[in-house]
C-alpha cells in the first residue's frame, strides 16, 4: 500500500471505530473535507476518498446543503448474558471473598516488577515450563515450608491462575466424583461440575468437614479448607484430619487442601498444613487472592508425585503456563521478604477490623462461629428470626451488601446466617460500612 492509501485507510478506520463505538453519534456533522484535511495534514482528496468509502459502507451520508453526516445509529449497549449481569456496586460492601483492593502493595510490587524485568533472562519472555517459573517455585518452597509447614520441593509445585484453576486442573486429571464441603463456595462446585466430575456435598459441623462420612460416599477426591473452613470459620478437628488421611491412604483418593487464607490467624500461629502429614495423598493449594489481591490470578499447587506429570500436561494443554512476568515479580517479592512484610501489615489491619466488627455486633442476638482468623465472620441468626431474606431487604435499604449462608449451600438446613466480609472495603470506608451494618441490625432485631 502506498503512503497515501495508508493514510486514507487509517482515517477510514478511525471514523468507522468512532461511529461503531458511539463516539460519533447519528446525525453528527463531520467537518468539511477542506478543514479536516488541513487539521490532519492530509491532502483534501484523501479525506474526500475516505468519506466516499464510508458513505458507500453506509456509515455516513452526504446531504445536500448540510455536508457529510453520521448515518448509522450508535450500537445499543450489549445486553449481558443471563448470569453475567454487571456486579452491583453497593455503597457499603461487606460481602466476603475479597481483601481490600486499595491496600495492594503497589510500591513494593512496582519495585519487584522493575527488578524482575530488568534481570529476567531473554527466555522468560518466551513460552516456558507449564509448571511455572523456577524462580517462583523455589521461592515458594521456602515460604510454604516456613509459613505453613508444607513439604514442598520446586519440582513438586505447579503455578496456576489462582486456586480456581488448580481445582479445575485436578478435576480434569482425576475425574470421577468429588466431595466438596457444604457450605462452601458455589462457584467452585460449579466449576468442578462443568469439567465433568459429579459433586457430592460433604456436610460441615462444629468439628469441620464430616470426614467420617467419606467411607460411605465413594468419591475420588475431597476438597476441604482445614485451617479455616469457608464459610463457618472453624478449624478441622484433629481426629477428622486423621480420618481424612486414613481415607485417602486406604482408598487411594485425593485430599485437596484449600489453604486460601491461612496467613490470617489473629490469636496464635495457624494450624500447619495437612499436606505435611500426607504429601503422597494431599494436593496442597494456595493463592495470592487474599494476601495481595484476586487481580493477580496467581496460585500454586504442591502435588503428590503421581499427579505432577498429568497436571503439568493438562496445564500445558489449557494455557501453556501462567504468565511469566507476574510470577517473576512475585518471586522477587517473596525472596526479598516484601511478601511477609505485606502480610504482617495486613494481618494487623484485618485483625483490628475484626475486633471493631465484633465490638459492633456485641449485644445483638446472633451467634458468631469460628476462630479468630481470615477476612470474614459467620453470624448465625436466631431460630425465631429474622430470616436471611428479611435481613437482606433491610440491608438493601441501607445500601449495604452482605453474604448469606444459604447461597453457599446445596444441602437443606434450617440454619440462617450472614457472612460478613470485613476485608473488602477500603480503609476510609470501613467505619461507614460498620455504621450501616449497625443501623440495619438495629432495625432487624
Which residues of this protein are in contact with ligand PLP, per CB under 6 A?
97, 162-164, 185, 225, 230, 258, 260, 287, 289, 294, 299
Q: Which of 281, 287, 279, 233 is nearest to 259 (CA)?
A: 287
CB closer to ligand PLP out of 243 and 287: 287
CB closer to ligand PLP out of 68 and 229: 229
CB closer to ligand PLP out of 62 and 187: 187
- Output the smallest distance, CB 246 to ligand PLP, in A: 24
SS3 for 297?
A: coil
C-alpha cell at 103: 491496600
- Output the smallest distance, CB 226 to ligand PLP, in A: 12
Q: How far apart are CA 103 and CA 354, in angstroms?
A: 16
- Output the smallest distance, CB 201 to ligand PLP, in A: 15
Q: What are phi and psi of 255, to 5 degrees?
A: -95, 125
CB closer to ligand PLP out of 260 and 284: 260
CB closer to ligand PLP out of 61 and 98: 98
CB burial of residue 167 (10 Å; 0-12, 13-18, 19+): buried
Q: Which of 99, 9, 104, 122 is nearest to 57 (CA)?
A: 9
Q: Would you give the DSSP letter of residue 158?
A: E
CB closer to ligand PLP out of 22 and 370: 370
Three-state helix/strand/coil letters over 317-346: HHHCCCCHHHHHHHHHHHHCCHHHHHHHHH
- Output the smallest distance, CB 376 to ligand PLP, in A: 8
In the complex, residue closest to ligand PLP by CB:
162
The neighbour count for residue 399, using CB atoms within 10 Å, is: 15
- Output the smallest distance, CB 101 to ligand PLP, in A: 12
CB closer to ligand PLP out of 188 and 240: 188
- Output the smallest distance, CB 262 to ligand PLP, in A: 11
- Rounded to 5°, the CA angle 214-218-223 comes to 55
CB closer to ligand PLP out of 253 and 299: 299
CB burial of residue 55 (10 Å; 0-12, 13-18, 19+): middle
Q: Are 441 and 364 spatial neighbours (Cβ–Cβ below 8 Å)?
A: yes
CB closer to ligand PLP out of 38 and 187: 187
CB closer to ligand PLP out of 235 and 287: 287
The DSSP bridge pattern shows strands 367-369 and 376-380 to be: antiparallel
- Output the smallest distance, CB 322 to ligand PLP, in A: 12
- Output the smallest distance, CB 60 to ligand PLP, in A: 47
Contacts of 80 (CB under 8 A, 6+ apart): 86
Q: Are 347 and 264 spatial neighbours (Cβ–Cβ below 8 Å)?
A: yes
Contacts of 46 (CB under 8 A, 6+ apart): 4, 7, 8, 11, 37
- Output the smallest distance, CB 287 to ligand PLP, in A: 3
- Output the smallest distance, CB 420 to ligand PLP, in A: 14
Q: How far apart are CA 227 and CA 374, in angstroms?
A: 10
Amino acid at each position: 500500500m502506498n503512503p497515501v492509501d495508508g493514510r486514507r485507510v487509517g482515517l477510514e478506520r478511525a471514523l468507522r471505530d468512532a461511529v461503531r463505538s458511539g463516539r460519533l453519534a447519528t446525525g453528527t456533522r463531520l467537518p468539511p473535507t477542506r478543514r479536516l484535511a488541513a487539521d490532519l495534514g492530509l491532502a483534501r482528496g484523501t479525506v474526500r476518498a475516505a468519506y466516499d468509502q464510508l458513505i458507500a459502507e453506509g456509515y455516513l451520508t452526504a446531504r445536500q446543503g448540510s455536508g457529510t453526516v453520521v448515518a448509522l445509529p450508535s450500537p445499543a449497549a450489549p445486553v449481558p448474558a443471563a448470569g453475567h449481569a454487571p456486579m452491583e456496586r453497593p455503597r457499603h460492601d461487606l460481602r466476603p471473598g475479597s481483601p481490600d483492593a486499595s491496600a495492594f502493595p503497589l510500591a513494593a510490587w512496582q519495585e519487584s516488577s522493575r527488578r524482575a524485568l530488568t534481570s529476567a533472562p531473554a527466555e522468560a519472555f518466551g513460552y516456558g515450563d507449564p509448571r511455572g517459573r523456577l524462580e517462583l517455585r523455589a521461592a515458594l518452597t521456602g515460604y510454604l515450608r516456613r509459613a505453613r509447614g508444607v513439604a514442598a520441593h520446586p519440582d513438586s509445585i505447579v503455578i496456576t491462575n489462582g486456586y480456581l484453576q488448580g481445582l479445575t486442573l485436578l478435576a480434569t486429571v482425576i475425574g470421577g466424583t468429588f466431595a466438596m464441603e457444604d457450605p462452601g463456595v458455589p462457584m467452585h462446585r460449579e466449576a468442578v461440575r462443568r469439567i465433568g466430575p459429579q459433586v457430592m456435598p460433604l456436610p460441615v459441623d462444629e468439628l469441620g468437614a464430616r470426614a467420617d462420612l467419606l467411607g460411605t460416599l465413594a468419591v475420588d477426591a475431597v476438597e476441604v479448607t482445614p485451617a479455616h473452613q469457608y464459610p463457618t470459620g472453624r478449624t478441622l478437628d484433629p481426629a477428622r484430619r486423621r480420618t481424612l488421611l486414613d481415607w485417602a491412604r486406604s482408598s487411594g483418593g485425593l485430599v485437596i487442601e484449600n489453604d486460601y487464607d491461612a496467613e490470617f490467624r489473629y490469636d496464635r500461629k495457624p494450624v500447619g498444613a495437612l499436606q505435611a502429614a500426607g504429601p503422597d495423598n494431599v494436593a496442597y493449594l494456595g493463592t495470592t487472592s487474599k494476601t495481595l489481591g484476586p487481580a493477580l490470578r496467581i496460585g500454586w499447587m504442591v502435588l503428590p508425585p503421581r499427579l505432577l506429570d498429568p497436571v503439568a500436561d493438562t496445564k500445558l494443554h489449557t494455557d501453556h503456563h501462567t504468565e511469566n512476568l507476574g510470577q517473576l515479580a512475585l518471586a522477587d517479592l517473596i525472596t526479598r521478604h516484601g511478601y511477609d512484610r505485606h502480610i504482617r501489615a495486613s494481618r494487623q489491619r484485618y485483625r483490628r477490623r475484626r475486633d471493631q466488627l465484633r465490638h459492633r455486633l456485641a449485644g445483638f442476638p446472633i451467634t458468631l462461629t469460628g476462630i479468630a482468623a481470615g477476612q470474614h465472620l459467620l453470624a448465625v441468626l436466631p431460630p425465631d428470626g429474622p430470616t436471611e431474606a428479611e435481613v437482606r431487604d433491610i440491608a438493601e435499604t441501607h445500601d449495604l451488601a452482605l453474604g448469606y449462608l444459604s447461597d453457599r449451600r446445596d444441602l437443606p438446613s434450617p440454619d440462617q446466617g450472614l457472612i460478613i466480609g470485613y476485608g473488602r472495603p477500603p480503609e476510609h470506608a470501613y467505619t461507614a460500612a460498620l455504621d450501616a451494618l449497625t443501623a440495619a441490625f438495629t432495625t432487624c432485631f
